[in-house]
Structure 1
Amino acid sequence: MSDADPISAADAARIRLVAALSGVARQDRAALRQVYEMTSAKLFGICLRISSDRGAAEDILQDVYIKVWNRAGRFDADRASPITWLCAIARNTAIDWQRASGRVAVAPEEAAYAVADDRIRADQGIEQDQQTARIHHCLGELEERQGAAIRAAFFDGLTYADIAARMDVPLGTMKSWVRRGLQRLKGCLGDD
């Protein structure tokens, strides 16, 4: 475990999105699917708000991802946030559709509430980040062997026998380390 601060969920999502856009620039269809899964709810909301028409918004969204496919090589993570870049494409595509169709109506802002967003809420994300930080802090408080055994068992998915072999100790000793470590961890996490 390093002493570096863990990255936030938002930073991790940004990193994944930048990596996926790099894949799209290399014409990787799986990367485009990943970009779609990460951003379609937000971009659809933009298209729907501007078009005021669910069917049109779906068509516009398809055009957005065609543009993303064709333009991903132009994205520069040093100049713009990936979601900002994608939102600008969605907004401009929807405005172009609106001008071409002769429509000028904009859906009320409340229409965005009808669009599903399966991401966790901000308060839940903050709570998860705090809980994760607390778990890592408490793991750091354990004796080194106990902490290493618990990390290997629960984070790496190793069996007690695998960990015992790796650490060159008897299986019973390994089980005792983990049991005592979990008791200390429970005590640490229970303190407020």
Structure 2
Amino acid sequence: MEHDELLPLLSATAKGDKKAFAELYSATSGKLYAISLKMLKNTAQAEEALQDAFIKIWHNASDYQSNKGVVISWMISIVRYRSLDLIRHNKVRKEQEFTNEHSADLESVEVNDETDLTIEYESGNDNKLVDCIEQLDQQQRQAIHLAYYKGLTHYELVDHVSSPLGTVKSWIRRGLQQLQRCLTL
């Protein structure tokens, strides 16, 4: 349907006309679902995003401003934002599941001043790398080990070492710079 056909349906929806809303849904749901499915790659999540988007369209139909774009573009943006919200939500949930599943493993990786992490690196038989790693500060060594060898995200590192995000990122950045300098000598 064209903008000229959708605008009256949206205007009637803004006034609470359920029949107009049903027609608007019939005319646009296929296209909006395809957009959501392409983004989410999951039919159940795409259906959820579409349903949430149409609820928002029902409640916010009166907010549409024709001078800012056509009806279908406004509706697509609502579906896109809802799909992005679901993507973010699922990413956070997966990170939380990872943290919960591996919290016992992380506790056993606690690094103290006396702990020597180079044992894990020695298996590669690259003595220069081992020597360079040993030259790092304890915090840099721990942060790099947990990030690159244990696969922790920056946020998981923050929780694990109880330090601010900027500090953890600095440890990693400076440690990698020092390793690079050491390895190129």
- The TM-score bracket by the shorter chain reads 0.3 to 0.5
Structure label with greater radius of gyration: 2
Q: Which has the higher contact order (CA 8 A, sep 6+)?
A: 1
In the superposition, the TM-score normalised over structure 2's length comes to 0.48
In the superposition, the TM-score normalised over structure 1's length comes to 0.46
